[in-house]
Chains A and B, each alone.
Chain A
């Protein structure tokens, strides 16, 4: 037993996987059930590696329309309301008055900036599965991300026919980036980040129930439960659209299960559900100080406790199994959802009600299809100590709200021992 424990620990240290529930993106979910391979006879453990690259990363707004990634929460940045909600004697309040912007109304165009940017993401990850007695196994993931926000620009929508327009241009939108940095310490330029994601570990019980029926030949059931640990790079509150490589410092409980049915030798289908409950954390975060502020650029930063949303993933697939010498093809539909989050502000300087009006706290969803081509080398290599398993996949997001949906291409290589 002690040896097994050591092995488990070793896996945890060297194997990588990923979980990404905090930020509304479908990138890097390598513990996805669709990438899981079958366990073969006498298999002791499995080591996998995955590389995934974004072909395009497209944002989806509230209505589900395709938008720039920087517009998933709001269609633009409202630089005028950005300055509201601060005490008159604060630095921002003083600037607001001194610049005479406090006398300017927000007519929907004045002080509005269209944010544009390109998000690139590349990832590499490893995960391992250690088989235990009684159909149990232990699985652990740790990801490695590299993300880049580039080509950032702000298109000023302010017109120039009134004194207010011209005042807003001269005082606010013409030097927006510098102003935001000076007043709120927030960098709105491009960024690049590479680092670890959150560790995910769970136990899984799975078992095949061979069927002697005319068509139905096998039923496979699996149930899993585990946790996520905050090992990933956290969100940088001083960088616009900073993406945490995990759950932003939160621990989480993961649980789920699935059912796979196989008819004959080549037809397989299944369903799977998985839930992740994250624990709230308290840290300095950017909050809204006016209900009309837009989420992308917020100047107020204060210590808040965040009650995390409940994450759900639903998966349905249809597979042509072992069509030719270990080659399988799968089409999966996946639905990802996170429920609303809530902020609890320490102190009376800011309004919790206003802070909680942030769109980014609202639920988000992603619908996607995943096409997989799998090649199982078991028949070829069953005599060897190591059996490889190759998966090529293509993710095609087709709908969603308030999220970044990545159209990705990836490759997963597993080695069974």
Chain B
């Protein structure tokens, strides 16, 4: 056994105070305060990271800056300063830029253009154009001072959300403001201010260089106007402003015409008054006034639901029957957007809140509900969810909790009102409409069956339409469907996450706190698991992503290249760096090392497996196993340091290679596992390949007993011993007692015991044998408790009703039962398991199985997803297809690829398909477009080829997540590539 050493380095991009942007080199320090990520929704070609300075530094042009990725392939990055000293301000060129050198407290975007609030200021600034030509000035507009709900200038703007509209004039900015006195949010005067964009004109005087005369010039500008959007006030209306025009005659004519016409739509006077927010408003209080407790306010505008969600920390009144809601809704009337009124609505009806476990509210007096962040999630099954950070309890008790709650989406129902033909019903349309609008975006009855909508039998969309109307309808904080991450974040409850973002079916959370007790910094993600109705049934446990564990202020996912952007904080210097993960080969020393050991001409790394710290043979220790031609490598990926399990930094000393003669009989090795007998507490490293299976053990058949904590704990002098009579082994898996061995023709169960390995006499149970059936080939299998799935060339099979694969003595006792996979290709090629615990052995406990059915002969590939819920005995409803639809009443595959694909991988946000280079295709690693939903077809979906920087990929392996660092890795004939 030889051990090799290498360093794992992170390729990072850092920048600041500089005009160039150099990959992998730290150029200057910068203290980031706010950030936003943006990608073009049309083609995702570019990706932007906008940043605001966390401190005021004189003449800092990078107080507002952005980095953009310019191209998809061969990425190059450019840093741009967006706050030069001079700027065109409110139409006047050459003005002092108020953002230059400022500390940016809030940053948001309208498409590519930033909307910012600077520290110590109560105005908003909108950058309407960004000039890349140094001779041209960018354009900045500022609002007037933002007033509080008492029409006095607010003391601070706490939060900002933007209602985006294709037309600039349709955009609206929501600002949570503190009152003029600076009292805690929720005090009298605090509220939500609303700003709209208006066309305006500006008369400028310009000296003519030739004549020396002063020329008057009128230009169109944007008026960023604040309104009184409070609905309960009497409307204070003014006539609609006519379009700006210099033609006085035309104006007169228009005026005459206007006098003849009936008065047009009226707009409210822009008297700059925030909508009052406090504990006594109906949207917050239940029965009695509540109290808003802190300045932590978060707002999120959902463009699909057209609803503003506001999260606060609230305490219910201390009188009996009191309750409170920490999240409420805001709607801008869609009938007449010019009314510019923000209607505040409760997130759910008063009476549904019972007890103190409803996450966003409480039905009990004197209870706190603290919601620190609010977002929305639109699932790939086309349902809507509210994602909140916090819950029932004080701020210091819920900072590590994330929940998901179903939302009503009545948009389709509202649209259907137009199709009512009955005269009597038509009279009631307004009433019906108002009722639907009132429910729209509120909490839905969590256990309802969603309603499907069709257009001429073709599936359109799906929604929850019933609002929660009783206490039983509300999801509670102990439901697995509500608990994002299934458990608390690795963060102390009194600490706060730094950021949360959602991509497709995944929730990502960043933690900027250093290692401290249970707190572990980095980016974590949890993925939704869907039941047969498309509802979220459960979540995966929080898993680390992006291959690092540094404190992170914020992050985004560049979906077209599958790269994480993250802003890492150095606590000691209080400086930040912007990093982008990248598929690297030589930059990553593990990859570099394996590439030299597992040569391309010998097939490279033919198998790559992550064995997490949850393996019964490990004590807070994890490894990865690389396999190749008569060779394997064990890589220590994580172990305990200073009492905390952390990813291995210096992997160079943590690799053990086995390439002695004992592996020769196995030949090319394609599968490996750390198998355990949890009763005898024995563990073995077992490998399989063309020549059969071999177990690493001593002459007594023992590898190690109990748990090991590092690679050096593996005893010396062990050799691989070939066991059984197998050939072309495709997969092995162990479940704590048995080793399951699958070849193309049979599936066996072998009892794991040192005695049998010593004697070579195995206790084998034949679970499936295809020799008697021509054309039947086993391609994959997965065992979870008593349940098991077998993917074959003639469909998918499961363990039969009432049967148990663990106790089965033969295939009859397994009673393999056909599982109908809707519209799938007969040949089930691969199973991809999503387990709530992250351990593949638990996928049957409310887990998801992605089924890739593919036949190379006809260049077909389909992807289905099934929900597995093993409760007691296996029955017909243990495994059910998710209701992916395309045609009415006809279950469909989730997605159909336009070419043959070998493998599939997803984390809920990225959907990757893999295929070794073939004459038919050279699309080795593909990312499907960011939004793949159940009715999508391949023609609607973009494929992004991941650049692995390899000229010729003969063989692609699997995408594997390093459970210690969260880095994605892929093996193949090229060796290894690491995304970190």
CB atoms of B777 and A97 under 8 A apart:
yes
CB atoms of B955 and A107 under 8 A apart:
yes
Closest A residue to B793 by beta carbon equals A97
CB atoms of B916 and A107 under 8 A apart:
yes
CB atoms of B606 and A105 under 8 A apart:
no
Residues of chain A in range 99-136 having any CB-CB distance to chain B below 8 Å: 100, 102-103, 105-109
CB atoms of A98 and B774 under 8 A apart:
yes
Q: How far is the CB of B688 from chain A (nearest CB, A)?
A: 10
- Bound CA span A33–B915, Å: 56
Do A103 and B919 form a contact, CB below 8 Å, given A88-B855, A161-B603, A162-B668?
Answer: no
Closest A residue to B688 by beta carbon equals A163
Residues of B within 8 A of A87 (CB): 858
Most chain B beta carbons < 10 A, residue from A94, A107, A108, A163 = A163
Is A389 in contact with chain B by the CB < 8 A criterion?
no
Is A292 in contact with chain B by the CB < 8 A criterion?
yes
- Bound CA span A290–B860, Å: 13
CB atoms of B793 and A166 under 8 A apart:
no
Do A98 and B777 form a contact, CB below 8 Å, given A161-B601, A163-B728, A166-B690?
Answer: yes
CB atoms of A78 and B919 under 8 A apart:
yes
Residues of A within 8 A of B689 (CB): 163
Residues of chain B in range 914-933 having any CB-CB distance to chain A below 8 Å: 915-920
CB atoms of B775 and A94 under 8 A apart:
yes
Q: How far is the CB of B548 from chain A (nearest CB, A)?
A: 33
Residues of chain B in range 767-791 having any CB-CB distance to chain A below 8 Å: 774-777, 779
- Bound CA span A163–B744, Å: 12
Do A102 and B603 form a contact, CB below 8 Å, given A97-B827, A162-B668, A163-B668?
Answer: no
Is B629 in contact with chain A by the CB < 8 A criterion?
yes
CB atoms of B668 and A161 under 8 A apart:
yes
- Bound CA span A292–B775, Å: 24
CB atoms of B857 and A83 under 8 A apart:
yes
- Bound CA span A96–B689, Å: 21
Closest B residue to A166 by beta carbon equals B690
- Bound CA span A112–B952, Å: 17
Is B659 in contact with chain A by the CB < 8 A criterion?
no
Is B826 in contact with chain A by the CB < 8 A criterion?
yes
CB atoms of B668 and A96 under 8 A apart:
no
Is A318 in contact with chain B by the CB < 8 A criterion?
no
Do A93 and B857 form a contact, CB below 8 Å, given A107-B954, A164-B955?
Answer: yes
- Bound CA span A322–B777, Å: 77
Is B902 in contact with chain A by the CB < 8 A criterion?
yes
Is B33 in contact with chain A by the CB < 8 A criterion?
no
- Bound CA span A162–B691, Å: 11
- Bound CA span A88–B824, Å: 14
Residues of chain A in range 256-293 having any CB-CB distance to chain B below 8 Å: 290-292
Is A187 in contact with chain B by the CB < 8 A criterion?
no
Closest A residue to B916 by beta carbon equals A105
Q: How far is the CB of B691 from chain A (nearest CB, A)?
A: 9
Closest A residue to B775 by beta carbon equals A94
CB atoms of A103 and B918 under 8 A apart:
no
Residues of chain A in range 153-173 having any CB-CB distance to chain B below 8 Å: 159, 161-167
Is B374 in contact with chain A by the CB < 8 A criterion?
no
Is B856 in contact with chain A by the CB < 8 A criterion?
yes
CB atoms of B606 and A85 under 8 A apart:
no
CB atoms of B744 and A100 under 8 A apart:
yes
Which one of B667, B775, B858 contacts A166 once the chains associate, using CB atoms below 8 Å?
B667
CB atoms of A162 and B606 under 8 A apart:
yes
Q: How far is the CB of A66 from chain B (nearest CB, A)?
A: 25
CB atoms of A167 and B728 under 8 A apart:
yes
CB atoms of A84 and B857 under 8 A apart:
yes
CB atoms of B917 and A162 under 8 A apart:
no
Closest B residue to A104 by beta carbon equals B856
Most chain B beta carbons < 10 A, residue from A87, A96, A103 = A103
Is B509 in contact with chain A by the CB < 8 A criterion?
no
In the assembled complex, 27 residue pairs joining A and B whose CB atoms fall closer than 8 Å, in A order, are A81-B919, A85-B857, A85-B858, A86-B857, A88-B827, A93-B857, A94-B775, A97-B775, A97-B855, A98-B774, A98-B776, A100-B728, A102-B857, A105-B915, A105-B918, A105-B955, A107-B916, A107-B917, A108-B919, A108-B952, A108-B954, A161-B668, A162-B606, A162-B629, A163-B690, A166-B668, A166-B728
Q: 16 new A-B pairs (CB below 8 Å) besides A81-B920, A163-B670?
A: A78-B919, A83-B857, A85-B858, A97-B855, A102-B855, A103-B779, A105-B856, A161-B668, A162-B668, A163-B667, A163-B668, A165-B603, A165-B668, A166-B667, A166-B690, A290-B859
Spell out B's residues near A (CB within 8 Å). Answer: 601-603, 606, 629, 667-668, 670, 689-690, 728, 744, 774-777, 779, 793, 826-827, 829, 855-859, 902, 915-920, 952, 954-955, 973
List 6 A-B pairs, minimum CB-CB distance, nearest first.
A292-B919, A105-B916, A161-B603, A107-B954, A162-B603, A94-B775
